[in-house]
């Protein structure tokens, strides 16, 4: 296996131990991944949630990127500048237990292997989906936003699936249980959009991201899973994320998620295309 060059960039006061932990986790991942590793990765660690938010917004403004969904994330991966880049928020990572932190870092490592070039951040809008959206009264800007959210959901599914295939299971359960946290703000947001067809469409497709992220873990056979208790706990956490939608909307969303998963292959672009076609039933 070729050695991966890790170039670290820090913003704010970052403890040396945090940088060492991220670097060690990434190198261990890449050794296990074998020949599919990138030759160079730029790793940013920022000190706070505010720094993370401002940095990502500034980057997107400079690059002319209008889609936005990761300013509130613990970490992110992109290739907008033509090379692998990971961004970690130390303040958010520090709130996780050690196993969940490893899960977060390994999640981004998987993205760097699977989605390490610009083509994985630019997706074509199918013409038939444009036509369906027009019939349903969905604006083109809303449809583009939905496509962006679905591409993130599909890539998260692929990252989890890849990590499970490489026996990174316990850390992904830990990370999922820390990340998938329903809140009162989510419920309030739903109440504010459920009467608006377009806003509801965006909201529901955003919920597909945590649902697809967790699916490879929930689908693990008995021989692979760490414990039945963890699997049940994660399944319940996913249910909590969508239960306030009401029975009809919840069941429809979960049905769409299952139909998306059934059609997923190893081709990211085909997967995003298929996911969008399935998600149009939510509009």
Top-level class of domain 1-122: alpha beta
Q: Is the pTM of this model over 0.75?
A: yes
Residue 72 has what pLDDT? 61
- The C-alpha atoms of residue 226 and residue 241 are separated, in whole angstroms, by 23
Answer yes or no: is pLDDT of 118 > 90: no
Residue pair 254/273 in contact (Cβ under 8 Å)? The answer is: no
CA 259/CA 58 separation, integer angstroms: 37
Provide CB contacts within 8 A for 31, sequence distance 6+: 1
pLDDT given at position 67: 59
Domain ranges of the chain: 1-122, 124-283
**Mean pLDDT of the 28-40 span:** 89
CA-CA distances (angstroms) from residue 56 to 61, 80, 235, 277? 9, 12, 31, 29
Residue range 187-193: average pLDDT?
A: 91
* pLDDT tens-place string over residues 62-108: 776 665 556 567 888 888 887 889 999 999 999 999 999 999 999 99
Would you state the pLDDT for residue 29? 95
How does pLDDT run across 255-272, given as a tens digit for each residue? Answer: 999 999 999 999 999 999
Residue 125 has pLDDT above 60, yes or no: yes
CB neighbour class for 114 (10 Å; exposed up to 12, middle 13-18, buried from 19): middle
Looking at every residue in the chain, the average pLDDT score rounds to 91
Q: For 64-97, where are the alpha helices, taking DSSP H only?
A: 90-93
Query: Kind and range of the H or E element at 11?
Result: strand 5-11
Structure confidence at residue 208 as a pLDDT band (50, 70, 90): very high
pLDDT recorded at residue 61? 74
């Amino acid at each position: 296996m070729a050695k991966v060059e890790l170039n670290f960039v820090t913003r704010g006061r970052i403890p040396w131990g945090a940088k060492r932990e991220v670097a060690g986790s990434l190198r261990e991942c890449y050794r296990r991944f074998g020949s599919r590793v990138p030759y160079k990765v730029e790793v940013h660690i920022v000190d706070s949630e505010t720094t993370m938010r401002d940095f990502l917004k500034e980057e997107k403004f400079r690059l002319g990127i209008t889609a936005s969904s990761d300013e509130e994330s613990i970490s992110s991966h992109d290739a907008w500048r033509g090379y692998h880049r990971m961004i970690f928020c130390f303040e958010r990572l520090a709130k996780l237990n050690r196993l969940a932190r490893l899960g977060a870092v390994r999640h981004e490592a998987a993205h760097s292997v699977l989605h390490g070039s610009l083509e994985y951040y630019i997706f074509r809008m199918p013409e038939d989906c444009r036509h369906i959206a027009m019939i349903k009264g969905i604006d083109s800007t809303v449809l583009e936003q939905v496509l962006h959210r679905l591409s993130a959901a599909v890539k998260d599914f692929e990252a989890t699936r890849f990590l499970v295939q490489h026996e990174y299971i316990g850390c992904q359960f830990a990370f999922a249980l820390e990340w998938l946290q329903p809140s009162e703000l989510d419920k309030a947001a739903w109440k504010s959009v459920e009467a608006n067809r377009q806003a509801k469409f965006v909201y529901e497709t955003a919920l597909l991201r945590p649902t697809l992220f967790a699916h490879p873990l929930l689908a693990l056979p008995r021989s692979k899973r760490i414990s039945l208790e963890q699997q049940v706990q994660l399944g319940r956490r996913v249910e909590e994320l969508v239960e306030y939608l009401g029975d009809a909307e919840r069941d429809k969303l979960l049905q769409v998620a299952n139909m998306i998963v059934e059609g997923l292959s190893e081709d990211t672009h085909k997967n995003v295309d298929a996911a969008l076609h399935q998600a149009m039933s939510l509009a």
